[in-house]
Amino acid sequence: MSKRTTDQKIRLFMSLFHGLGVAYGTYDPDTGKYRQVKKQVQRDVIFNHLKGNQSYGFYPVVGTKTSVGIVDFDNGDPYPALQFIERAKHYDINSYLERSKSKGYHVWTFFNDGGILAKKVRLVLNHILDDIDSPDTEIFPKQNFISINGNYGNFINAPLFGRLVPESKTIFIKPDASLKPCQDQWSFLEKVKRVNEKIIDRIIEINELDKKSETLKQIKSDKQLTKNTGYGLPACIRAILLQGVTFDQRVATFRIAVHLKRMGLPYEFAVIILLNWKRKNKPGNGKRIITPEEVEEQVGWAYKKNYTGFGCQEKIIQLFCDTKCPIYISKL
């Protein structure tokens, strides 16, 4: 391969590491501080990056599309990154290993010119990470789309930053046990194989990733609710369990049982809890306390189906509502 001119290198670099064209990110290697530069990404930006004058990081999402996907393994262990690359091959996806500016590794995947939906890229990258038991690994792009209000998402540092290349950082390396640098970084980049969108679509369809994504969102929502409310129960339900009620005993019993089921408690345990709870009730207007038979009936209805609502519209729930509850806040 003949020696490349600076312009040839810049064109090759920009053909692979590009995204939003109106801004880019940079950092100070001495202080580690990051900042955004609202300036067109042109030849001089890339030139300064390759020379080591100022780093360049690009925002990979343009509208709803991206031409690249990156997985950031930042714990210094190359094994998960190598696992990812090997597993990606199983799906006919070519990925490439970079030693990052710190102690970690980036795995890069490139897509056809014009890009594909960022949502698809994120679904597939997360699926492969699940396959190798590394579900919490950071990926780019972090967003499915960017808005038009100046929020560009998160930028990713581009490789081959001239100041760090002599330290064998921000360079592409061989994805094997040797982890040796690719001898000619530019020859390496010229041989990069882009992934066709049809391959991504096939992976999503065969593995039903769209459906799994919605399920995962619900699981994460439930986990966050448990974290924010304590014991997996909303504040209103906890208050009802502690204080008892003076009206709508059946409704309260049913709503408590729905939440106990959501926590994973067996039917029998829910009945025992509510039979003890009913003693705290002090119904007005001469009404009696709910009977054991009525408790079992309401628990039975609650456990018959997978109810997703929280009963916020019920009067008895509203009486105990806590305005700091995340469910309450989400409905504002």
Boundary (domain end) residue, out of 165, 187, 207? 207
Same-domain check for residues 95 and 226: no
Instruction: Say which CATH number the domain at 79 has.
Output: 3.90.920.20
Same-domain check for residues 184 and 231: no
Best CA proximity match to 277, nearest among 249, 298, 303, 297: 249
Q: CA 233 to CA 226: how far, in whole Å?
A: 7
- pLDDT at 210 (0 to 100): 83
- The owner of tokens 């300036």 is 39
- pLDDT at 214 (0 to 100): 54
Name the range with the highest mean pLDDT among 58-62, 74-78, 225-229, 233-237. Answer: 58-62
Domain extent at residue 320: 215-330
Residues in the chain: 332
Sign of CA dihedral 102, 108, 114, 119: negative
Q: Reply yes or no on whether the pLDDT at 326 is more than 90.
A: no
Residue 321 burial (10 A CB sphere; 0-12, 13-18, 19+): middle
Q: CA 131 to CA 191: how far, in whole Å?
A: 27
Residue 116 burial (10 A CB sphere; 0-12, 13-18, 19+): buried
Same-domain check for residues 186 and 229: no
Sign of CA dihedral 101, 102, 103, 105: negative
Same-domain check for residues 177 and 54: yes
Q: How many domains does the chain have?
A: 2
Q: Give yes or no for a contact between 253 and 316, defined as CB atoms under 8 angstroms apart.
A: no
- Would you tell me the crossing angle of helices 249-262 and 267-277 to the nearest 10 degrees? 140
56 occurs within a structural domain = yes
Residue 332 confidence class, pLDDT cut points 50, 70, 90: very low
Residue 178 confidence class, pLDDT cut points 50, 70, 90: very high
Q: CA 290 to CA 296: how far, in whole Å?
A: 10
53 occurs within a structural domain = yes
Best CA proximity match to 60, nearest among 115, 131, 101: 115
Same-domain check for residues 275 and 174: no
Same-domain check for residues 259 and 325: yes
- The owner of tokens 């990713």 is 156
Phi, psi of 232 (to 5 degrees): 75, 10
Same-domain check for residues 198 and 80: yes
pTM (2 decimals)? 0.66
235 C-beta neighbours (distance < 10 Å), count: 19
Phi, psi of 37 (to 5 degrees): -115, 115
200-234 pLDDT per residue, tens: 999 999 998 987 665 555 444 444 444 444 446 88
Boundary (domain end) residue, out of 207, 233, 259? 207
Q: Reply yes or no on whether the pLDDT at 330 is more than 60.
A: no
Boundary (domain end) residue, out of 149, 182, 207? 207
Same-domain check for residues 199 and 167: yes
250 occurs within a structural domain = yes
Same-domain check for residues 70 and 117: yes
Same-domain check for residues 88 and 33: yes
Q: Which of 160-164, 191-195, 210-214, 278-282 has the lowest mean pLDDT?
A: 210-214
The CA–CA distances, whole Å, from 253 to 9, 63, 301, 304 equal 70, 48, 10, 14
Provide the pairing of β-strand 68-73 with 138-140.
antiparallel
1 occurs within a structural domain = no
Q: Hey, what are 271's tokens? A: 């009945």
Same-domain check for residues 153 and 103: yes
285-294 pLDDT per residue, tens: 889 999 999 9
- The owner of tokens 């994120």 is 122
- pLDDT at 289 (0 to 100): 96
Same-domain check for residues 163 and 17: yes
DSSP 8-state assignment for residue 89: H
DSSP-assigned beta bridge partners for residue 156 = 58
